[in-house]
Amino acid sequence: MNGPLLKVENLTKHYPLGSGIFKESIPVIRAVEDVSFCVEAGETLCIVGESGCGKSTVARLLMRLVEPTGGRVLIDGTDIAGLKKQALRDWRRRMQMVFQDPYSSLNPRLTAGQIITEPVENFERLSRKQRNALAADLLRKVGMGPEMMHRLPSELSGGQCQRLGIARALSLNPSLIIADEAVSALDVSVQAQILNLLLDLQQQMGIAFVFISHDLGVVEHIAHRVAVMYLGRIVELAPCDALFANPVHPYTEALIAAAPLPDPTRVRLEAPVEGEVPSPINPPKGCAFHPRCPLAIERCRIEMPPLVPILDGRVVACHVRAPAADVPCSELGRPVLRLLKQDDPVLRYEKRKHSDSKMGTRDR
Ligand SMILES: Nc1ncnc2c1ncn2[C@@H]1O[C@H](COP(=O)(O)OP(=O)(O)OP(=O)(O)O)[C@@H](O)[C@H]1O
Ligand code: SF4
Ligand SMILES: [Mg+2]
């Protein structure tokens, strides 16, 4: 099949605040606005942004846990909104989710073996022998011994519980795993083990990840590409190395500036951005970032910047740093990045080799 594994087109989710006859007059929370991106087989796309910017809502929309207000999600070119019965079941096998809290995402009354074989048993009957063999195999894949299959979640550590969550997600041989803050609740050393595990599994099984995290250290470690969200919208989407080496959107720059630096030789960028994220009920006109942006010009207060593709394979929504091709801008804060055609089918990913792993050491 040609084309991306996952294609998200103009995805939008508004939560109405109350109900009534005149729907247009009801205020809404604009959780996700016009979000588009692609994910290729075997790719890791990370989504970053401050709390409340819509990351988890995107994950829920991808998993069809909530219905979109607008836009489409396509898997291998098929719109998941139109799937019925068998096609829906087949699709559910292909996309799995790993949650933030490893304890609360596991049924406390089931053993580890039952937890990880349960998704398969929803599709087919397994004999006790088959179930044990499958559980042992999945436990091995996530670096745990078969003796663990009889343990309850309360008898496991946080890292072991998250490994179980991953084993459960793997049980149906998914093409894509959506991981929402999957390592945030874990100690730093356990985080590294789980991240290495995910990278290993990606290399062995070609799984694609949509990995949501507020931790830029983690993101830099594992992402092929990064989508930066602000107030429900993608403001920059770029290859990971390019984004960290040369953030273009002022908000991306601010996020990186605010993140702790793991590498002491790296120079910190300008001061992190100040102020609070505005309300998603009544976002600022024009560029939603303008009240906090040190580069804002008059146009930013009036006109929303479009996502513009620039030369190094990224898209950026900023009147100053990535002005639309026909608008001259004399206030660029850094060297001009040459523009591509505005209607380019952006957000496509040039496949990196799987051997191009970002982890220097494997600490398991
Ligand atoms: N079910 C809901 N009903 C109403 N508003 C919601 C609902 N779910 C999310 N929201 C709102 O949508 C916005 C985006 O929320 P979301 O959980 O997607 O953010 P997030 O980026 O995942 O944040 P965090 O980093 O804190 O997890 C927030 O303003 C949130 O309050
Ligand atoms: S469009 Fe204007 S306000 Fe928005 S990020 Fe760019 S410079 Fe700042
Ligand atoms: Mg969230």
pLDDT category at 22 given cuts 50, 70, 90 is low
Residue 323 lies in a domain: no
Query: Quick one: average pLDDT of 264-290?
Result: 75
Based on the fold, state whether residues 48 and 175 are members of the same structural domain. yes
Which residue, 192, 224, 256, sits at the end of a domain? 224
Higher-pLDDT residue of 201 and 360 is 201
Identify which of 297, 298, 334 to mutate to test ligand 2's pocket (most ligand atoms within 8 A of the CB). Answer: 297
- Do 172 and 284 reside in the same domain of the chain? no
Cβ(287) to ligand 2 under 6 A? yes
| Tens-digit pLDDT profile for residues 198-215 | 998 899 999 999 999 988
Closest C-alpha residue for ligand 2 atom 6: 318
Residues that place a CB less than 5 A from ion ligand 3: 56
Q: Name every residue whose Cβ is closer than 8 Å to that of residue 185 and which is 6 or more positions away in sequence.
A: 100, 101, 102, 158, 162
Choose the weakest-confidence range: 17-31, 41-55, 145-159, 211-225.
17-31
* Residue 70 maps to a domain: yes
296 touches ligand 2 (CB under 6 Å): yes
Tell me whether residue 156 is in a domain: yes
**Is 344 within the bounds of a domain?**
no
Q: Is 295 in the pocket of ligand 2 (CB under 6 A)?
A: yes
State whether 81 and 181 are in the same domain.
yes
Both 197 and 253 in a single domain?
no
Q: Domain containing 305: what range?
A: 229-316
User: What is the overall mean pLDDT for the chain?
Assistant: 84
Q: Quote the CA–CA distance of 171 and 154 in Å, as a whole number.
A: 21
- Dump pLDDT digits (tens) for 90-140: 888 889 999 888 788 899 999 999 999 999 998 888 999 999 999 999 999
Give me the CATH number covering residue 173.
Answer: 3.40.50.300
The number of folded domains in the chain is 2
Pocket lining: 288 vs ligand 2, CB cutoff 6 Å: no
Task: Report how far ligand 2's centroid is from the alpha carbon of 66 (Å).
Answer: 31
Q: Tell me the per-residue pLDDT of 240-261, one tens digit each, with 9 for 90 and over.
A: 999 999 999 999 999 988 776 5
Model confidence band, residue 348 (pLDDT cutoffs 50, 70, 90): very low
Give dist(CA 195, CA 200) in Å, integer: 9
| In the predicted structure, residue 359 carries a pLDDT above the cut 50 | no
- Whether residues 192 and 128 share a domain: the answer is yes
The beta-strand segments (E) located in the chain are 6-16, 28-39, 44-48, 70-75, 78-79, 95-98, 176-180, 208-212, 225-230, 233-239, 308-310, 314-316
Same domain, 204 and 168: yes
Selection from 14-28, 34-48, 339-353 with the highest mean pLDDT: 34-48
From the CB of 54, is ligand 1 less than 6 Å away? yes
For residue 84, the model assigns a pLDDT of: 85
Residues 233 and 220 in one domain: no
Is pLDDT at 187 greater than 90 in this prediction? Answer: no
25 and 99 housed in the same domain: yes
* Any ligand 2 atom below 6 A from CB of 320: yes
Q: What is the pLDDT confidence band of residue 274, given thresholds at 50, 70 and 90?
A: confident
Residue 321 lies in a domain: no
Question: Does residue 67 sit in the same domain as residue 181?
Answer: yes
- Give the pLDDT band of residue 342 (cuts 50, 70, 90): very low
d(CA 208, CA 230): 24
pTM for the whole structure = 0.87
pLDDT for the residue numbered 354: 34
Same domain flag for 309 and 198: no
Nearest to 248 by CA among 226, 218, 224: 226
- From the CA of 57, the nearest ligand is 1
Instruction: Look at residue 363 and tell me if it is in a domain.
Output: no
**Do both 277 and 151 map to the same domain?**
no
Domain-ending residue, one of 197, 224, 251: 224
Last residue within a domain, chosen from 173, 205, 224: 224
Residue 328 placed within a domain: no
pLDDT at 102: 76
pLDDT of residue 44: 96
Q: Is residue 362 part of a domain?
A: no
Residue 175 C-alpha to ligand 1 middle, in angstroms?
Answer: 26
Looking at the structure, do residues 36 and 66 belong to the same domain, yes or no? Answer: yes
Q: How many CA atoms lie within 13 A of 200 on its CB side?
A: 15
Over the stretch 64-85, which tens digit does the pLDDT of each residue have? 999 999 999 999 898 988 888 8
